[in-house]
A = this chain, B = another copy of it.
Amino acid sequence: MPSVRSRAAPPRARRRAGEIIDAAASVFAERGYHGASTQDIADVLGIRQASLYYYFGSKEEALEQVCMLGVEGFVERATAIVHAPGTATDRIRALVAVHLAPLGDRRDYVRVFLRERGHLPDVARRRVGRLSRRLERLIEEVFTAGVASGELRADLDPRLATLAMLGMCNAVPAWLPVETGLSIEAVAQALATVLLDGARGRADARRTLRRPR
């Protein structure tokens, strides 16, 4: 099951097509979908605006491709984690890590997915929306299971915890390029800890943590 819509192969050159979508992603990320013109994309590539239409059929289609590449893999990876053995705590840490991982090499794609998917035409928006909701449900399941097993607070609202986690994680691409000095992995670690144990930390955890530091 190919993640990117397979078409009649040629005459669309695969290699160059990737550069074109890269450019689109970067421009959409920078200026927003409606704030970016196809001319802006062409400028990045050093080609004429009309030439873009050799690679995509419309600006909306370009947005759709970028968005799909922005979510692609998220659900698969989350599914694997949720179905793997381990405590809720382990799974949540892994989900956070995997959620932030693509910021390394796909930041623009992810940012565009997060902020611009709302401008997709109806059909595509719903397609993309289904993926998002599936992902949210997977995360929510982990919280629900954690509460049920007594591993997480009994009064935790799993829906709200999910949204808190997504809020924390999805904000990262907005400040990551600016706030320096931290690797993506370190950020994931720290955020997962806040999510699990809070700013005050668990009483037992604090005892362990205080000394070595």
Contact = CB atoms under 8 A, between A and B. Distances in A.
B213 A191 contact: no
B199 A155 contact: no
A77 interface: no
A202 B201 contact: yes
A160 B194 CA distance: 9
A185 interface: no
B34 A161 contact: no
Interface in A1-59: 1-2, 5-8, 10, 30, 32-35, 39-40, 42-43, 46-48
Contact of A43 (B7, B167, B195, B202): B7
Range for the number of chain A residues in contact with chain B: 35 or more
Given A146-B199, A196-B198, A202-B201, A40 B179 contact: no
A25 to B, nearest CB: 16
Nearest to A175: B163
Nearest to A191: B164
Contacts of A42: 7-8
A209 B153 CA distance: 8
> Of A33, A143, A187, A206, which is in contact with the most chain B CB atoms at under 10 Å from its CB?
A206
Interface string A53-88: 000000000000000000000000000000000000
A156 B199 contact: yes
A30 B1 contact: yes
Nearest to A212: B155
Interface of A: 1-2, 5-8, 10, 30, 32-35, 39-40, 42-43, 46-48, 89, 92, 115, 118-119, 143, 146, 151-157, 159-161, 163-164, 166-172, 175, 179, 182, 187, 190-191, 193-206, 209-210, 213
